[in-house]
Amino acid sequence: MIKSTREHNLLDVIILAAGKGTRMYSNKPKVLHQLAAKPILQYVIDRAKELGSNSINVVYGHGGEQVKEVISDADLNWCEQKQQLGTAHAVLQAIDYIEDSADVLILYGDVPLLTTETLKQLLIEKQSSSLSLLTAKLKNPTGYGRIIRKKGNLDKNSSVEKTSIEKIIEEKDASGEIKKINEINSGVMVIDGDKLKLWLQKINNKNAQGEYYLTDLIELAVQSGEIITSYITADNKEIEGINNKIQLAELEREFQKKQAIKLMEAGVTIMDPCRFDLRGVIDTGTDVHIDVNVIIEGECKIGNDVSIGANTIIKNSIIGDGVTIFENCVIEESVIKSGCNIGPFARLRPETKLDENAKIGNFVEIKKAHIAKGSKVNHLSYIGDTEMGENVNIGAGTITCNYDGAYKHVTKIGDNAFIGSNTALVAPIEIGEGATIGAGSTLSKNAEAGKLTFSRATQKTISGWKRPAK
Ligand code: UD1
Ligand code: CA
């Protein structure tokens, strides 16, 4: 008989995250290590939220206080497991939060790539039983619990070969024959709340590891005459856990590849999807071209016809249409309007605002500055705490001296000003519209509009002077 659909059933989620993560060799709890700049555990919590869970219960152990601090989410119930006595013991720590009538979904905090779609499939399977397992068929099943199915008795309603599941045998308890079975337990399961409570009490730790195995639920369910349903994952990466830095790196690449594919499907040109990293979210226009080794962080919006050069990092920024970013730029919390050219080797620090068609060249650092339309800072300059008008030309080596050792001061530069090379503008200072500043000047007073101002020692030539000789 088909039970009521999940929309009508409560869903309580238990996330097991008490494992020490010894093989990470880190002072940080395993589930706080990051995948694409987000803690591994956060991915699992996000999936639980997407499913519209009634409660999300996180079983924590080692380093738990740190986990609570970093994840800091009022919607979660935190359940401490003081000693790691096994997965069944871990689930028991959350049992007070579980409704009898709920479907209970058990997830692992160190399995970040599981998709909501897969979990929904599993929940559909669960509608026709009181326990449903997420399994996978692996070429190399070593280390995993093996799924023991009854011979024959094919599931006629399914395209996949499925016979009813009888039990799970852990690797460490398995004989040579059992070890050859390549269908494994992912660890993810859905079970009726009341049955979970009943069967958990019956689990003992009489096994090779002396642990309370959650997987023993299967045999208990079968003994009670229940049919176990299952869903076999289409993508085995989804069920992979992270136990060491090698697996962390593998799943990072897998995740990045999937993100790159989504962007390419939407029309973005990515020169090499293996050398692209998105650590956050990106919104892209049409004809965006991304060269190799680009890293996008936080939330970024990229307009149409934008080209991003190799080895560039963009963080929390908005890039307008037709912008060209050449190689090796670092752009952070900046707003860049259409038609600007940036780099190569430019650094735009927070609160940089570039209006249309501005040009920022090589070895230029900009911080908290507004640069109006068509202005150019083409070479080797520092522009900070500055309000710059339109069509200004800043010569190579110009520095705004914004810091007096205690306070920051503002530099104002009017439209059409021309600042000669190697000029130091000691702020607070104002350069009038259309002013010209002679190269090599150090100015600490305002420069009048439309006039030439310079501060430079007069050039002298001494006739008859001779170099000292040995
Ligand atoms: C478990 C399954 C195995 C399955 C495998 C999939 C059991 C007995 N075995 O084995 O069938 O193939 O996962 O990866 O369930 N945890 C706690 N508290 C504990 C023990 C574990 O919170 O006392 C957490 C861990 O942090 C981890 C998860 O539970 O997130 C799984 O624990 P782990 O020890 O890795 O399980 P396996 O022995 O690999
Ligand atoms: Ca174990």
The pLDDT assigned to 155 comes to: 53
In whole angstroms, what separates CA 149 from the centre of its chain? 39
> What is the average per-residue pLDDT within 301-328?
98
Pocket of ligand 1 contains residue 60 by CB under 6 Å: no
Nearest residue to 296 (alpha-carbon basis) of 311, 304, 305, 287: 311
> Tokens in use for 185?
């337990």
User: Would you call 8 a catalytic residue per the annotation?
Assistant: no
The pLDDT assigned to 20 comes to: 84
Catalytic pick among 62, 370, 379, 409: 379
User: Which-ligand-closest: CA of 21?
Assistant: 1
Mean pLDDT across the chain: 95
87 Cα: distance to centroid of ligand 1 (angstroms): 6
Whole-number percent of the chain with pLDDT over 90? 93
> Tokens in use for 238?
């989804």
Pocket of ligand 1 contains residue 364 by CB under 6 Å: no
The pLDDT assigned to 403 comes to: 96
- Candidates 3.40.50.1000, 3.50.50.60, 2.160.10.10, 1.10.1380.10; CATH matching 245-453: 2.160.10.10
Confidence of residue 2 (pLDDT cuts 50, 70, 90): very low
Which ligand 1 atom is the nearest neighbour of the CA of 184? 12
61 Cα: distance to centroid of ligand 1 (angstroms): 13
For residue range 3-50, list pLDDT tens digits in order.
444 455 899 999 999 988 899 999 999 999 999 999 999 999 999 999
Which ligand 1 atom is the nearest neighbour of the CA of 20? 26
The pLDDT assigned to 156 comes to: 54
Ligand 1 pocket, mutate which of 14, 40, 87, 111 (most atoms under 8 A from CB): 87
- Per the document, the length of the chain is 470
86 Cα: distance to centroid of ligand 2 (angstroms): 7
Pocket of ligand 1 contains residue 29 by CB under 6 Å: no
> What is the average per-residue pLDDT within 142-169?
77
Tell me how many helices (H) and strands (E) the chain has.
8, 37
The pLDDT assigned to 159 comes to: 46
- For residues 139 and 119, give the distance between their C-alpha atoms in angstroms, rounded to a whole number: 23
Which ligand 1 atom is the nearest neighbour of the CA of 111? 30
For the chain, give every domain's residue range: 11-239, 245-453
> What is the average per-residue pLDDT within 255-269?
98
Fold (CATH) for 11-239: Spore Coat Polysaccharide Biosynthesis Protein SpsA; Chain A (3.90.550)
Pocket of ligand 1 contains residue 212 by CB under 6 Å: no
> What is the average per-residue pLDDT within 101-122?
98
The pLDDT assigned to 160 comes to: 52
Continuous H helices in 87-206 = 87-92, 116-126, 176-179, 193-200
For residue range 368-421, list pLDDT tens digits in order.
999 999 999 999 999 999 999 999 999 999 999 999 999 999 999 999 999 999
- For residues 360 and 15, give the distance between their C-alpha atoms in angstroms, rounded to a whole number: 49
> What is the average per-residue pLDDT within 347-374?
98
Query: 3-state class of 418 per DSSP?
Result: strand
User: Which-ligand-closest: CA of 144?
Assistant: 1
For residue range 39-77, list pLDDT tens digits in order.
999 999 999 999 999 999 999 997 789 999 999 999 999
User: Which-ligand-closest: CA of 24?
Assistant: 1
